[in-house]
């Protein structure tokens, strides 16, 4: 082959394997989401891990700082539910000398009395579940809107012992979007901004990166520093019902997409139940026992009843109000009853913490901007996938209350690459 043809082939290879800056890691990564509040109890994305990729369904969890999947290793007395498991190999194991091990464990003595030099960890969650495992590092792949995520290295947990809480969902792993040393944004090299849009009909979208954030139409509140950046918390806020005070003030709430339901402390919970004990006409509504959730009613008794919404009014930010729409709260149990998706957090072991779970974030675009230390939300049509191929963002993304002029673009550079590649291929003959 002559030198000219050799140079052309070299250029072809560069063009073939080069990704433009505004594709993938250079901007926002948008993932299709599956799942629902009921009956699954979680919203998830699919990722494949390893040189011989195995698919895993990962629960999107903004309340967790470590991504993990079930582990295929021997462990006496451990419990791992059936399903796909990751089998670590020698090159994928992270040892306790690795700086990320002590950062994830939160202390320097990472051996914890062990002699195997592996980086072991344990995690507990607000829903009462807990896991134990070891840290590994491997490549992963995923489907994103408009293509496939290029192979990337990810440090994650290989969990060999899982204990579910009373209301815990059962996906095959967790995609951790909270803050921490193993933050997925840091590992992917994108801006530490994440967001999700869950549909009340099931499914939705999730994004990582700043380019998918609407330029207007979003209510923003500052992140609280009370939790040491472990959770996405904001406040203070007052609880209103039908626009009127309930007497519950100065509340701080955690936005946790890993929780199926919403939790309030016992005082707030009692105020909510009191407001829901009668219909808007003052007629008492009789509760019925149901093993699904603590508060349930006969579905037929609620037919035609329209409750006013609860509202969290954030007092430190002008016009920042989070509507807790009651139409999304009753989930229909296996017995056909309508059950309230708001639980007593104090009784569930959360003490005075208040947690906004998936059921309160349906049909909303929710954004966690760690760069600017703020949390935002906007009413949205989450049935439509977030996309990048239309010049009209509102049609493609479906964010009816948000102006997303900055988030949409044609990947012109990619198409120019393809055209040049074809020309070179034609001329090289």
> Closest by alpha carbon to 342, among 412, 241, 414?
241
Q: What is the 8-class DSSP label of residue 287? A: B
Q: How far apart are CA 402 and CA 232, in angstroms?
A: 22
Name residues whose C-beta falls within 8 Å of residue 234's C-beta, 6 or more positions apart in sequence: 221, 222, 223, 224, 252, 253, 255, 314, 375
> Closest by alpha carbon to 147, among 27, 12, 15, 11?
27
By DSSP bridging, strand 331-332 and strand 337-339 are antiparallel
| 3 state DSSP class of 32 | strand
**262: preceding bond cis by omega (within 30 degrees):** no
Q: How far apart are CA 170 and CA 44, in angstroms?
A: 11
Angle at 258 between CA 256 and CA 264, to 5 degrees: 50
**E strand segments, 164-246:** 174-176, 193-198, 204-208, 219-222, 233-241, 244-245
Q: What is the dihedral of CA 179, 69, 361, 307, to 10 degrees?
A: -130
Q: How far apart are CA 69 and CA 135, in angstroms?
A: 11
Name residues whose C-beta falls within 8 Å of residue 287's C-beta, 6 or more positions apart in sequence: 295, 296, 297
Q: How far apart are CA 1 and CA 6, in angstroms?
A: 7
* Residues that are catalytic: 61, 256
């Amino acid at each position: 082959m002559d030198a000219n043809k050799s140079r052309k082939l070299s250029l072809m290879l560069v063009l073939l394997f080069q990704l433009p800056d505004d594709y993938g890691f250079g901007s926002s990564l948008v993932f299709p989401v599956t799942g629902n509040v009921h009956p699954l109890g979680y919203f998830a994305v699919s990722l494949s891990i390893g040189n011989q990729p195995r698919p895993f369904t990962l629960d999107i969890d903004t309340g967790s700082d470590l991504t993990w999947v079930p582990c295929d290793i021997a462990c006496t007395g451990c419990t791992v539910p059936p399903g796909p498991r990751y089998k670590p190999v020698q090159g994928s194991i992270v040892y306790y000398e690795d700086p990320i091990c002590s950062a994830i464990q939160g202390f320097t003595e990472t051996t914890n009395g062990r002699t195997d030099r592996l980086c072991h960890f344990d995690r507990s969650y607000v829903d009462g579940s807990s896991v134990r495992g070891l840290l590994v590092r491997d490549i992963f792949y995923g489907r994103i809107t408009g293509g496939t995520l290029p192979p990337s290295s990810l440090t994650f947990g290989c969990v060999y012992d899982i204990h579910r809480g009373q209301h815990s969902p059962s996906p095959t792993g967790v995609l951790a979007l909270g803050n921490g040393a193993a933050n997925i944004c840091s590992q992917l090299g994108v801006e530490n901004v994440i967001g999700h849009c869950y549909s009340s009909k099931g499914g939705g979208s999730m994004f990582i990166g700043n380019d998918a954030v609407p330029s207007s139409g979003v209510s923003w509140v500052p992140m609280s520093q009370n939790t040491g950046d472990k959770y996405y918390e904001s406040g203070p806020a007052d609880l209103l019902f039908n626009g009127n005070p309930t007497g519950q003030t100065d509340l701080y709430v955690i936005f946790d997409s890993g929780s199926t339901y919403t939790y309030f402390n016992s005082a707030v919970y009692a105020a909510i139940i009191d407001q829901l004990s009668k219909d808007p006409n003052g007629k008492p509504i009789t509760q019925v026992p149901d093993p699904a959730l603590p508060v349930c009613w006969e579905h037929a008794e609620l037919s035609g009843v329209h409750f006013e919404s609860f509202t969290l009014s954030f007092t430190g930010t002008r016009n920042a109000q989070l509507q807790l729409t009651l139409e999304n709260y009753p989930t229909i149990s296996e017995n056909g009853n309508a059950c309230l998706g708001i639980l007593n957090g104090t009784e569930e072991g959360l003490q005075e913490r208040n947690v906004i779970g998936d059921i309160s974030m349906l049909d909303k675009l929710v954004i966690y901007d760690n760069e600017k230390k703020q949390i935002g939300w906007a009413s949205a049509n989450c049935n439509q996938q977030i996309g990048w191929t239309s010049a009209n963002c509102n049609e493609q993304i479906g964010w009816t209350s948000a102006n997303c002029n900055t988030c949409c673009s044609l990947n012109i550079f990619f198409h120019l690459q393809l055209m040049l590649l074809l020309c070179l291929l034609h001329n090289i003959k």
